[in-house]
Amino acid sequence: MIGSAEPRGGHSPDRGLYGPASEAWRLNREAMLLLGAGPRALLLQIAHPAVAAGVDEHSNFRADPWGRLAATLRSYLTIVYGTTAAARAEIRRLNALHRGIVGDGYAARDPELSLWVHATLIDSTLVANDAWLEPLSRDRRAAFYAETRPIGRAFGLPDGLLPADLEGFETYVADMLGPGGPVRVSAVARELGQAVLRPPLAPLAAWLPFGSALRPLLARVPLGAYAWTLWPAVGLLPPEVREAYGLPWGARERLVSRWLVAGWRAWRPILPDPFRQMPQALAADRRMGSGRAR
């Protein structure tokens, strides 16, 4: 429950909204998994026509998809691994930000749309772990979903709208994606999807040393030259969504994706934690004095 991890008497480390024993702390620390789950979640979000329209009208997504992905991951990881105060402050910030985003047929605080965005993050975390790390047991999946329900309520989702358990959540996702469901890839979504999967490199200069000197060089790199690095994320999409985006998934894409994932699996036991785990997760481990959550 949100707030149950408050430090007592100022002596215990602040466990945040989840804590080191949670599935959320276990499932969200691997950078490679999040780099697959993040693009997958974005593509599923904008596969809802109303979400795609809102993103198109109220953000600079096309020009800087890296910024959108980085902001999404930063917010998500602050809520998962941050202190109680930091996580609650981030939820308040996002709620205030979304209150002002209203367009023709779209409102960021619409509970139905908020639930879909919330659900894509949960589902993508589970799918990436299943596909690239290890199949999760039913109990672990159920525990992770139960941990996310208080977060959904904090974002204004009515308890009656949130699926009550894992089975209800899976039914909800299947209904959203299935025949007659509201998730239908629009022309706008296909355009935005290209920004996700072939993002311009020039905006990355803002995050790099000597970025001003590197920006002209990055701007000249053809968009298709590095698209293959995101093929593993494409492989995580439901086949019907991938086909609706018009994304090829032939022998070449499958082979390259398997090679990239196999390489990560081979290097994963060797690389030190700071090279493969999210800094927010490592900072939370240090805060708890545990070195690492298992």
Q: How confident is the model at residue 290 (pLDDT cuts 50, 70, 90)?
A: low
Rounded to the nearest integer, the mean pLDDT of the chain is 87
What is the predicted pLDDT for the residue at 293? 45
Query: Is 70 exceeded by the pLDDT of residue 8?
Result: no
Q: Which residue has the higher pLDDT, 258 or 76?
A: 258
At 113-136, the pLDDT tens digits run 999 999 999 999 999 999 999 999
Domain ranges of the chain: 23-197+223-288
What is the predicted pLDDT for the residue at 61? 73
At 254-283, the pLDDT tens digits run 999 999 999 999 999 999 998 899 999 999
Query: Is 80 exceeded by the pLDDT of residue 79?
Result: yes
Angle, CA 117 vertex, CA 192 and CA 156 arms, to 5°: 140
Query: Is 60 exceeded by the pLDDT of residue 54?
Result: yes
Most confidently predicted of 2-11, 49-58, 135-144: 135-144
Query: Is 50 exceeded by the pLDDT of residue 228?
Result: yes
pTM for the complete prediction? 0.86
What is the predicted pLDDT for the residue at 133? 93
Percent of the chain with pLDDT over 70: 88
Query: Is 60 exceeded by the pLDDT of residue 247?
Result: yes
Q: How confident is the model at residue 25 (pLDDT cuts 50, 70, 90)?
A: very high
